[in-house]
A and B are shown apart, each in its own frame.
Chain A
Amino acid sequence: MKRMESPYKWGMVIDLDRCTGCGACVVACQAENNIALVDKQRFAEGRNMHWLRIERYWEGEFPNVRARFLPMLCQHCDDAPCEPVCPVYASYHNPEGLNGQVYNRCVGTRYCANNCPYAVRVFNFLNPDWPQPLPDQLNPDVTVRSRGVMEKCTFCIQRIRRAKEDAKLEQRAIRDGEVQPACAQTCPPGAIAFGNLADSESLVARLARSPRRLRLFEDLGTDPSVIYLKGGGHEHAG
């Protein structure tokens, strides 16, 4: 059978030299994707529901301490370790390079979460509960997941879908910059760029050619679609 092809290959570039660790992207993601709220106790138990998290690492000894911020989200790997291990095909690779998660197919074996080296997969340990008036804030374009189901960053597939429908109505391709996931839209210093890596003139494709590029856990061979830029740090400022 032929492998399905698509003119789009979604990718993201995150510029770590611009990231201030403010966390606005995390909040935006939560708001856009109807992510459940977690209290302090459950957070400490390791049950937080962040699809996108800011990892903070401290380097060095006082007074030469630096904080490093790393926004970590689903890398949408082209050779995703989470996909072959799902017994029911709830995790699969779609032709546009996204790692898809099918909520109503997931039986909750959690094998995918074990095999994800980036630990970006999130499990619904309980049914979500939003105290009033938060249910009014839920995004109607995104389902609310029940307990027992795995979820993770989808590159705001609902926004990609919407853009594809609009483009189809107007009989054109999706323009560069038309699709903005919630995190990219919100980031104040503009550290997150999203677009079509298959289009060599798109912003993400140009940024991805930067000499500062790196990918996480490259040696594991997962071939992620998220490219980080790092290297023009404070020490270059003279």
Chain B
Amino acid sequence: MELLGVFENVDDAAAAVDGLIAAGCPERVITSVTSVPYPEGVLVDNTRRSWFHWLALGGALVGACAGFLLAAGTAWLYPLQTGDKPIIALFPTGIITYEFMMLCAMLGTMLGMFLEMRLPDLGRRAYDPEIANGLIGISVTVNGDEMVQRAETALNSAGALRVLNDEVS
């Protein structure tokens, strides 16, 4: 179950994180939910390594191959003499390869980003729309009634305005 405590300011939220850790929640299940990014460590410091740039690189390679096949391959399939230019011309092939490479790199970046963020997020999640107005959320994923109780206590004692969870609509 995911609990979300909503706080008015950074200090309260930070105290809540400390309280949750003291209550026995490992830091990796605690995260902040904010409408602006806070520097790492202000609230939580547990983000995993990013891997989506590999998809960007993969996209670049796929794009470069596709671009090369498009420019050089189609010229080879349909060889018509134009001017004194070779059938498979170096510079034009290079340009098309480059453009396709960049296009697929950008597509790969976006796709990788969405995959890493696991968006679109269709599931039911704990969220408070007031976070858009500057409230700071601290979310913790706990199992078992006892841990849920201790987490709730930690959040409330740090000054949460309210505590929501993802099972109640």
- Direct contact between the two chains A and B in their complex (CB within 8 A): yes
A interface residue numbers (CB < 8 A to B): 1, 3-4, 77-81, 83-84, 86, 89, 91-95, 223
Name, among A1, A95, A223, the residue most crowded by chain B CB atoms within 10 Å (CB to CB): A1
B82, A89: Cβ atoms closer than 8 Å: yes
Classify the interface of chain B: helix, strand, loop or mixed: loop
B interface residue numbers (CB < 8 A to A): 76, 78-85, 87
B-side contacts of A77, CB under 8 Å: 83
A95 to B79: give the CA distance in the assembly, Å. 12
Nearest A-chain residue to B85, judged by Cβ? A84
A81, B81: Cβ atoms closer than 8 Å: no
A-side contacts of B76, CB under 8 Å: 1
B-side contacts of A78, CB under 8 Å: 84
Partner of A1, one of B82, B83, B85, B87: B87
Nearest A-chain residue to B81, judged by Cβ? A93
A84, B79: Cβ atoms closer than 8 Å: no
A93, B82: Cβ atoms closer than 8 Å: yes
Minimum distance in angstroms from B88 CB to a CB of chain A: 9
A-side contacts of B83, CB under 8 Å: 77, 79-81, 83-84, 93
Nearest A-chain residue to B92, judged by Cβ? A84
A80 to B84: give the CA distance in the assembly, Å. 7
A-side contacts of B87, CB under 8 Å: 1
Name, among A4, A77, A83, the residue most crowded by chain B CB atoms within 10 Å (CB to CB): A83
A95 to B78: give the CA distance in the assembly, Å. 15
A238 to B76: give the CA distance in the assembly, Å. 60
A-side contacts of B78, CB under 8 Å: 89
Q: List 19 A-B contacts (CB under 8 A).
A: A1-B76, A1-B79, A3-B81, A4-B81, A77-B83, A78-B84, A79-B84, A80-B82, A80-B83, A81-B83, A83-B81, A83-B85, A84-B82, A89-B78, A93-B81, A93-B83, A94-B81, A95-B81, A223-B84
